[in-house]
Structure 1
Amino acid sequence: MTGAVTRSTGKRERARRYLLHERPDGSLVEVDVHIPPQAQRAVLLDNGMGAPHEYWDWLCGALPADMGYVRFNRPGYGLSTPDTTYGLEPHFELLQELRDTYIADLPVVLAGHSLGGYFVAAYAALHPDAAKGVTQVVMIDATEVVSLRHSRRTDVDRWSHQRMLMEQVFAATGLSVFRPAMNTNQQYRPEINRSFTAFLAHPRTWAKAHREYRDAMTYPELTELDCPLTVVTAENNVGDNTLHAGIQARLAVISDRARHHFVDGSDHESILAVRPHAAEVAKLIAGEPPSESLGQSWQPSTTGSRIAEGAVEREEELA
């Protein structure tokens, strides 16, 4: 009953707080839009797998006054209508539709976390004319699909499947309300924490995440991006940090105007969930985009530099 009440209350609060964007086919997409009158630019934010758009709350609060934002829940998450045929091309169409509707002719930064990082880079690289008006792409601890495919049928892959199935059960029984899979330390504002918990308490959230995880293994590798790129990497991750740094470094080579930045002390979740980390990422989004390739230049931390140097050695060993 606690789970049911949490889901019901969260749905009502979400409907009151956020917009519902109606698409040409009649389906709805939950969006949070802030384009102030003085806006000179905007950022379009794409969430990680299984995460709500509230995940960006600290980052959005740290953006400068002249920068608006659009964040949203993909179909199947939150109040967004599920779509059983959802894939890369429909997602590109949605991103373009949100740009045309809410951002108009403003210069735009495309930023995404985890799988969302892959989505925005793929959109700019593969969708016709998508890079027009894009000042930079920011991939935040993003998914690298080749490495994801290589993990298929490994212990990591089996655990990922098992975990998402378990979370569906926990959500259906209401247990996730007491022990949520994400935001366990309740690090956002109280109303955002409540909304986050209610989002995770929906079995549909984890069914959608499970499908996205499977689909991501079929996505094409990104090899070329014709716009500035910032790769932001969490410095402290579960597993092999050196290997993770090497995988992230491969993302930066798809653009001739790229930089690679480590956020000290952050992990895959806290890079946005901890306010100082989110502010650091916001500064990269709002700052000047890279004008040339920095090669193997990892900034600004000495910790990140040491990890990156080790990553190069590990990559050579694996080769």
Structure 2
Amino acid sequence: MARWPKLMRAVLSPPSVSRGAALSLSERLSATTHMVSSLEYLTTERDRRHGGLNNWQVNRDAFLTWSPALRKVLDLAARPRVTRTLHITRVGAAAVLLAPSPRAARVAANAVLSGTSLVLYPLNHYGTDGSDQVSFLVQSVTAIARAGERNPKTVDACLWFVALQSTLSYAVSGWVKMTSPTWRSGRALPGVMRTLTYGDRTAWELAHRHPRAARALCAGVLALECAFPAVFLAKGRAAPLMVGSAAVFHFANAGLMGLGRFLWSFVAMHPALLYAAGPREHTAADGRSERRDDALPLLALGLLAAGLGALQVEKGRQNRVLLQGRGDEREFTAASGNRLSYRRTGPNSTADDGTLPLVVLEHGLAATAEHWEWIAQGLSERFPVVTYNRAGYGRSTRAASGAATYDLDSAVDDLVDLIRHTAGDRPVVVAGHSLGGYLAFMAACRLPDRVVGCGLLDSSHPAELQRSSRQAQGQKILSDSLSSIATSVKFGMGALLSSPDWVSRLPEEVRHLVTAHYRDARIWEAGRREWQAVQEEFNSFDGKLPYPGVPMLVMTAGHTASQDPVQAELHAEFAAANVHSAHHIIDGADHDSVLTDRDTAAYVVTLMADFVANLGEAGTKEDSHDGRTS
């Protein structure tokens, strides 16, 4: 029993690691990662031969955008003899670092490992992981530290850099996991252990038989990673416990999941972390004292504060852009109390006698009215057009709060109210993209006396999660993505999101507004709320599709039809809802480009304009395929 107090004092005592020991240990542990990595590659040369996963003649196409000079270097390094020589050289350099060697040799060995990592990383397109990135970082920093070893401030800055990177990697990993319901519920461990790539049958059986223990273990991992910055509290008293727990975690991953390189690469950061978290004054065994230079963390804190401040300023600017909008929006309060922002465009009063159909466009999940801009511009040359944002998006606000009070019926109710408000005595054609297609379809079912036609553009279908394996398998990915993005953007990280490629394809006058939406928390919160409602409704769909009793124009993106034939079948079922309906497959278009690509959108405008213009004429049911490439 007397051992326990001693053990607790040892675990909770501030770490005492010297500058030289921290640098040497980090350097050697990282070198071990490189040695193991190169030995693995030397024994798996078949992966780089013809038909292998990392055959350069196939993978080099992924680097076509790189400069010709860099591609020539990679072509040279990809030659079997050169690749083999580089890996043998890396093993030798790692051996130099593991053995007692002079400073000049250690500087050169570190430089060799860092430089060859840069060259070889692209050649191993499949098989690289976080351990390769961490080992490159540690080896590069230790190379700088060794080169400037005569200046203690340089070494301390390097060790602090590694320590802060280590803390950040654990903390970010933990907080990302916190956004996942799978991790919070404790289902993550059994799920991972059941996979083919990282699974372990014995571990899975234990987790399956002891779910409480599995949940406790998941909670422990979350607690460790999320609280990892606490290593710097109380002069590092928690550092040995936190670092030791992390090392045990990596050791378990190495044994159960085969992530052996992760053990060496991440543990290589721990000596620097213990040095940085410990007392600033250190007395060596020979009685010499050294004082750690803490300029880098102070600089990092200053830059972090400045960065966070800049993010908040940018968040305010983006919010002003959203609230300003296009400048010609109108507002309408639905029966639900939701306040909807909408735009109405189209022929002027002299060109419209009040009999032209009103076209109402419904946007998709985590999208905005501006996604319709090319199509809205085209249609408004002939017909009055209404575009709007659903409640919770941009300037459109919800009267209620929280996801518990939301379902898709409430979105349809708002759309029905908006149609009645904006149509007057006109006939109405309602059209939607993605989730908006399903909402438009349901609105048409509720307003058979007002809606004379319905257009569905690569629409969602209530049976897709039950019948399409592609859609069903993507549920978790979409849920996790919406959750993590919504959380990060809520905390002001929206400015760090790079604009998707499709934004640059929209009309120039709306790009800034769409970018502001994309970087605003509201679009992601609304998307997450709607996706939860979609899952609840679609997963419980009874298979009975309502019939609106109006002609329908159903358009399927070619990529959707080829990658998910079941979705195309479901779209055909939409078209079968009325004898005067048509189903078009738009070759060359994907789920986004049917809206955002100018030429594809122009073709969609042609289909929709002809459909609207011919609604009063008798038609026959058709199911056509347009062999068109955008």
What band does the TM-score fall into relative to the shorter chain? 0.7 to 0.9
- The alpha-carbon distance between structure 1 residues 25 and 231, as it changes in their structure 2 partners (threshold 3 A), is closer
Q: Residue in 1 aligned with 2:550?
A: 227
Q: Deviations over 1:87-111 (max 9, x none)?
A: 3443333223222222211121110
Whether 2:625 is the aligned partner of 1:299: answer yes
Q: Residue in 2 aligned with 1:207?
A: 525
Whether 2:452 is the aligned partner of 1:135: answer yes
- The alpha-carbon distance between structure 1 residues 89 and 263, as it changes in their structure 2 partners (threshold 3 A), is same
- The alpha-carbon distance between structure 1 residues 251 and 162, as it changes in their structure 2 partners (threshold 3 A), is same
- The alpha-carbon distance between structure 1 residues 69 and 164, as it changes in their structure 2 partners (threshold 3 A), is same
Supply the distance in 2 between the matched residues of 1:80 and 1:249 (Cα, whole angstroms).
33
Q: Residue in 2 aligned with 1:146?
A: 463
Supply the distance in 1 between the matched residues of 2:465 and 2:498 (Cα, whole angstroms).
25
Q: TM-score, normalised by structure 2?
A: 0.44
Moved more, 40-49 or 28-37: 28-37
Moved more, 110-119 or 86-95: 86-95
Q: Deviations over 1:225-269 (max 9, x none)?
A: 301011111112498243332332232222222111122211101
Supply the distance in 2 between the matched residues of 1:15 and 1:192 (Cα, whole angstroms).
8
SS of structure 2 residue aligned to 1:230: strand
Supply the distance in 2 between the matched residues of 1:149 and 1:241 (Cα, whole angstroms).
13
Q: Residue in 1 aligned with 2:396?
A: 80
Give, in angstroms, the shift of residue 61 of structure 1.
1.1
Write the mapping of 1:50-69 to structure 2, written as runs, cut at 5 A: 50-63=366-379, 65-69=381-385
- The alpha-carbon distance between structure 1 residues 42 and 54, as it changes in their structure 2 partners (threshold 3 A), is same
Give, in angstroms, the shift of residue 116 of structure 1.
0.7
Runs of at least 5 residues in structure 2 that lack an aligned partner in the other structure: 1-309
Which of 182, 187, 190 pairs up with 2:508? 190
Letter in 1 for 2:440: V
Whether 2:386 is the aligned partner of 1:70: answer yes
Residues 547 and 577, structure 2, Cα contact 8 Å, conserved in 1: yes
- The alpha-carbon distance between structure 1 residues 204 and 291, as it changes in their structure 2 partners (threshold 3 A), is same
Greater RCO structure (CA 8 Å; 6+ sep)? 1
Residues 270 and 277, structure 1, Cα contact 8 Å, conserved in 2: yes
SS of structure 1 residue aligned to 2:523: helix
Residues 187 and 274, structure 1, Cα contact 8 Å, conserved in 2: yes
Give, in angstroms, the shift of residue 167 of structure 1.
1.9
SS of structure 1 residue aligned to 2:358: strand
Residues 172 and 201, structure 1, Cα contact 8 Å, conserved in 2: no
Q: Residue in 1 aligned with 2:423?
A: 103
Supply the distance in 2 between the matched residues of 1:184 and 1:283 (Cα, whole angstroms).
21
Which of 126, 144, 157 pairs up with 2:475? 157
In angstroms, what is the RMSD of aligned CA positions? 2.8
Q: Residue in 2 aligned with 1:312?
A: none
Give, in angstroms, the shift of residue 53 of structure 1.
0.4
Query: May I ask how many residue pairs the two structures share in their alignment?
Result: 299
- The alpha-carbon distance between structure 1 residues 33 and 146, as it changes in their structure 2 partners (threshold 3 A), is same
Give, in angstroms, the shift of residue 156 of structure 1.
1.4
SS of structure 1 residue aligned to 2:485: helix
Question: Which structure is larger by alpha-carbon Rg, 1 or 2?
Answer: 2
Q: Residue in 1 aligned with 2:414?
A: 94
Supply the distance in 2 between the matched residues of 1:299 and 1:184 (Cα, whole angstroms).
25
Letter in 2 for 1:79: R
- The alpha-carbon distance between structure 1 residues 239 and 281, as it changes in their structure 2 partners (threshold 3 A), is closer
Residues 115 and 143, structure 1, Cα contact 8 Å, conserved in 2: yes
Residues 118 and 142, structure 1, Cα contact 8 Å, conserved in 2: yes
Residues 335 and 417, structure 2, Cα contact 8 Å, conserved in 1: no
Residues 151 and 157, structure 1, Cα contact 8 Å, conserved in 2: no
Whether 2:490 is the aligned partner of 1:172: answer yes
Moved more, 172-181 or 88-97: 172-181
Give, in angstroms, the shift of residue 19 of structure 1.
2.0
- The alpha-carbon distance between structure 1 residues 158 and 92, as it changes in their structure 2 partners (threshold 3 A), is closer
Letter in 2 for 1:142: S
Runs of at least 5 residues in structure 1 that lack an aligned partner in the other structure: 304-319
Give, in angstroms, the shift of residue 151 of structure 1.
6.4
Whether 2:591 is the aligned partner of 1:268: answer yes
Supply the distance in 1 between the matched residues of 2:420 and 2:464 (Cα, whole angstroms).
33
Q: Residue in 2 aligned with 1:250?
A: 573
**Percent identity at matched positions?**
23
Give, in angstroms, the shift of residue 25 of structure 1.
6.2
Whether 2:612 is the aligned partner of 1:285: answer no
Q: TM-score, normalised by structure 1?
A: 0.83
Q: Residue in 1 aligned with 2:253?
A: none
Query: Larger % of strand: which?
Result: 1
Residues 458 and 557, structure 2, Cα contact 8 Å, conserved in 1: yes
Residues 375 and 605, structure 2, Cα contact 8 Å, conserved in 1: yes
Moved more, 155-164 or 2-11: 2-11
Moved more, 174-183 or 159-168: 174-183
